[in-house]
């Protein structure tokens, strides 16, 4: 597709269940970022990848959160044993690589996956 695609768009789950959120970046984009955004707040950084390598996971709230991008394209954010406080919009963004393979900076965001934990 032409843009960043995220699925599912909406996910309602019960507390304690695991969820997997998928991000399909723009073709050719080598950097991929995950954010969590609460209503009225800016995107909160979770983690990012260059190609398949996870560069920084310092924003992941705890060890229930993990992300992977095994082939340097599609990425999955997994939340294990979900809790009500995990309810939020989860956004993925991708960007092109500039010199030295690092992001050129401009992020293209998907429409997000809204997670509701009951």
Positions in the binding site for another protein (CB under 8 A): 33, 35, 41-45, 48, 55-56, 58-59, 91, 93, 102-103, 105-112
Contact by Cβ (8 Å): 35, 113:
no
Q: Which is nearer to another protein, 82 or 112 (CB)?
A: 112
Q: How far is the CB of 81 from another protein (least distance, A)?
A: 26
Q: What are phi and psi of 10, to 5 degrees?
A: -135, 135
- Rounded distance between C-alpha atoms, residue 113 and residue 92, angstroms: 9
- Rounded distance between C-alpha atoms, residue 115 and residue 107, angstroms: 22
* ∠ Cα 13 17 20 (to 5°): 80
Q: Which is nearer to another protein, 4 or 79 (CB)?
A: 4
Q: How far is the CB of 2 from another protein (least distance, A)?
A: 14
Q: How far is the CB of 22 from another protein (least distance, A)?
A: 16
* ∠ Cα 73 32 105 (to 5°): 130
Q: How far is the CB of 15 from another protein (least distance, A)?
A: 26
Q: Which is nearer to another protein, 67 or 93 (CB)?
A: 93
């Amino acid at each position: 597709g032409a843009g960043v695609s995220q699925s599912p768009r909406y996910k309602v789950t019960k507390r304690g269940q695991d969820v997997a959120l998928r991000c399909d970046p723009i073709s050719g984009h080598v950097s991929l970022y995950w954010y969590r955004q609460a209503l009225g707040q800016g995107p909160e950084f979770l983690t990012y990848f260059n190609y398949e390598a996870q560069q920084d996971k310092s924003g992941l709230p705890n060890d229930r959160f993990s992300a992977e991008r095994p082939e340097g394209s599609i990425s999955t954010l997994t939340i294990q044993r979900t809790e009500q406080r995990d309810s939020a919009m989860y956004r993925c963004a991708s960007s092109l690589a500039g010199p030295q393979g690092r992001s050129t900076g401009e992020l293209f965001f998907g429409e997000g996956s809204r997670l509701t934990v009951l």
